[in-house]
């Protein structure tokens, strides 16, 4: 399980569709998880900008792959 529902959803879809480890859905989910972990860490290692940027890139990848509306 990951840090966020979005990353979980992205990995589940990648698993269901048999996507390779280096597919954008997997890499963006991992980057988002890392940003969330760093942002919420006791000693913060990620800024708001890094956190929001990772979220935006993950959401954009999800929407591009699934056809779900971005907004």
Tell me: the pLDDT tens digits for 24-54?
999 999 999 999 999 999 999 999 999 999 9
Predicted pLDDT at 2: 75
> What pLDDT shows up at residue 71?
82
Q: Per-residue pLDDT for 15 more than 80? A: yes
Given pLDDT bands bounded at 50, 70 and 90, which one contains residue 3? confident
Contacts of residue 32, defined as CB under 8 A and 6 or more positions apart, other chains included, come to 3, 4, 6, 7, 54, 55, 57, 58
Measure the CA angle with vertex 64, ends 49 and 33; round to 5°.
40
Number of H helices, E strands in the chain: 3, 0
């Amino acid at each position: 399980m990951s840090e966020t529902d979005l990353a979980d959803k992205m990995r589940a879809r990648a698993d269901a569709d048999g996507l390779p480890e280096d597919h954008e859905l997997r890499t963006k989910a991992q980057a988002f998880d890392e940003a969330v972990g760093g942002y919420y860490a006791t000693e913060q290692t990620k800024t708001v900008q890094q956190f929001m940027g990772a979220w935006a890139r993950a959401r954009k990848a999800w929407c591009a792959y699934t056809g779900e509306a971005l907004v």
